Amino acid sequence: MDDTIQLGTNFTSWDWVIVAVYLAGSVAIGLFANRYIRDMADYIVAGRSLRSFISIATMLGSEVGLVTVMYTSQKGFTGGFSAFHIGVCAGIVPLFIGLTGFIVVPLREAGVKTIPEYYGQRFSEGVRILGGLILAVAGVLNMGVFLKAGAIFVTALTGLHDPMIVNVVMTVLIVLVLIYTILGGMVSVVITDYIQFVVLSIALMLTAVFAARQLGWEQIVETVEAVHGEAGFNPFVEGGFGLSYVLWSFFVFGLVSSAVWPTAVIRACAAENAQVVRRLYTFSSIGFMTRFILPQFLGICAMVYFFHDDSGRQLFFADGSLSSDPDITIRAMPSYLAQILPAGAIGIVCAGMLAAFMSTHDSYLLCWAAVFVEDVVNPLMGGQLATRVRLTLARVFILLIAVFLLVWSLWYPLGQDMLDYLAVTGAVYASGAFALLLFGLYWKRASSVGAYLALIAGAFAILGLKPVQRLVGLADLLGFQPSGAQIGLVSVGSSLALMVLGSLLFPDKTATRKEP
């Protein structure tokens, strides 16, 4: 990025006061929640006591965060209105799941706290350990860009251009997250997610309306056409997203993000009963859709604004066309908000975004730490670890993961849109997990050997990351450069095929095969 070009901001010292007060209140809530933690069920799934409205709010509170807004707005900036297909996919699938109970209701009725725990019930402890390890590693890698997104947001919105200052701010934020996540567990997550859901939803809607009125709908449409052409409206045309990406969107942003990704499924496991689970997904489908479309629209507005702004045009359209550098395009939305929002309003938006940033982190940290303890360490120790030891280990893993995130965010070269990075790292786990859940829940002949093969095949989705492709010379091996979506679809298909093949060739013995 050209550091000589620095866009202005309306952020003031009063806005910092708003941010500080809001974040301090969130941490206080987490500390208060600590008194309700008695065992691992309280810590991980809030005692399975969540009812419909609070379940919906906490589900969307975690999934609609600063990171979500950053990576979805980037897709709107680089893809135009055709990026809305991602939101449509993300809304249709949860609605289907809510109406049918597909995957999530049987999981809730199995009484498990994590998805790998189900692997142990249905297949074997070995499958549970391997599945838990792949899940936890993929999940932590998935989180690897979260701090980078937060740092970029703070830099662009507040005008802090010194990288050292930004690193200090991010370190403070992760420390605050650690305090109330380690102490409060899922109880603090539920309470703070509810608050973030209300604040951030209102802020996003008002900001989108303000942006649309300021730019004018006619100018928005004309600029998208001028920059992107037909590909800005139709994801299937040449130069657009393409059919493989649309199909990939249905799987990753629809099915995986709602019914396979643990931070969402853990809400189903924490629900009071199966009826609440169905309601949760039916009504959350609107939120799953708008969490993509609203930020994407803000990204589109940012593109329109900077296309007609001299300084912004130099930065985001340096060679006359839209920049293809993901490290530049990811800055567009917060840079745009810094230009258009007045003092005071920008502080509220910043506070809501940063609190949501913390809210996302607490859910993810808690989820991956729980998987490490409940599905890897405890099974390896014969399932004999006491509750106090498991709680302590969960808190230690949360700390270790946080340290890794700080290190990873500093040196990993993104190389692709942040949304695509998240889709690929998520698929490392989700490709195999979908095969295990689908056939484990609905096919009696699914076997442990098939489960092992599906998990291993799914892990090859890591080849969708651009730095990994360069490392192994994938383009030279294949003779062409595959996209992350193409590799992801192959990994899903391979996992499903190997699950069936392995189960047919190596069936479990009837006497030992486990039922859910």
50 strand-pairing partners: 271
Residue 10 has pLDDT above 90, yes or no: no
Residue 187 has pLDDT above 70, yes or no: no
> Per mean pLDDT, which range of 39-53, 265-279, 470-484 is the poorest?
39-53
* pLDDT at 45 (0 to 100): 42
Residue 50 has pLDDT above 50, yes or no: no
Domain extents in the chain: 13-505
> 99-104 long-range contacts, Cβ below 8 Å, gap at least 24?
99/278, 99/282, 101/274, 101/277, 101/278, 102/259, 103/259, 103/260, 103/437, 103/438, 103/441, 104/259, 104/265, 104/268, 104/277, 104/281
What 3-state DSSP class applies to 226?
helix
Residue pair 188/195 in contact (Cβ under 8 Å)? The answer is no
Q: Could you read off the pLDDT of 136-157 as tens digits, one per residue?
A: 999 999 888 888 888 888 888 8
Segment 122-129 mean pLDDT? 94
pLDDT top residue among 151 and 33: 151
Q: CA–CA separation, 448 vs 508, rounded Å?
A: 7
* pLDDT at 223 (0 to 100): 94
pLDDT interval class at 483 (50, 70, 90): confident
pLDDT interval class at 435 (50, 70, 90): very high
* pLDDT at 479 (0 to 100): 84
271 strand-pairing partners: 50
pLDDT top residue among 246 and 151: 246
* pLDDT at 180 (0 to 100): 60
Q: Which residue's entry shows tokens 């486990």?
A: 514
Q: What is the pTM of this model?
A: 0.84
Q: Could you read off the pLDDT of 324-337 as tens digits, one per residue?
A: 888 889 989 999 99
* pLDDT at 102 (0 to 100): 92
> Per mean pLDDT, which range of 165-179, 389-403, 411-425 is the poorest?
165-179
Q: Please return the burial class of 117, using the count of CB atoms within 10 Å of its CB with bins 0-12, 13-18 and 19+.
A: buried
Percentage of the residues of the chain whose pLDDT score is greater than 70: 83
pLDDT top residue among 475 and 73: 73
pLDDT interval class at 288 (50, 70, 90): confident
- Which are the contacts of 381, defined by CB distance < 8 A and separation ≥ 6? none
- Which are the contacts of 162, defined by CB distance < 8 A and separation ≥ 6? none
CATH level 3 topology of 13-505? Sodium/glucose cotransporter (1.20.1730)
Residue 486 has pLDDT above 50, yes or no: yes
* pLDDT at 239 (0 to 100): 79
> Per mean pLDDT, which range of 76-90, 124-138, 369-383, 493-507 is the poorest?
369-383
Average pLDDT, the chain: 82
Q: How many CA atoms lie within 13 A of 267 on its CB side?
A: 33
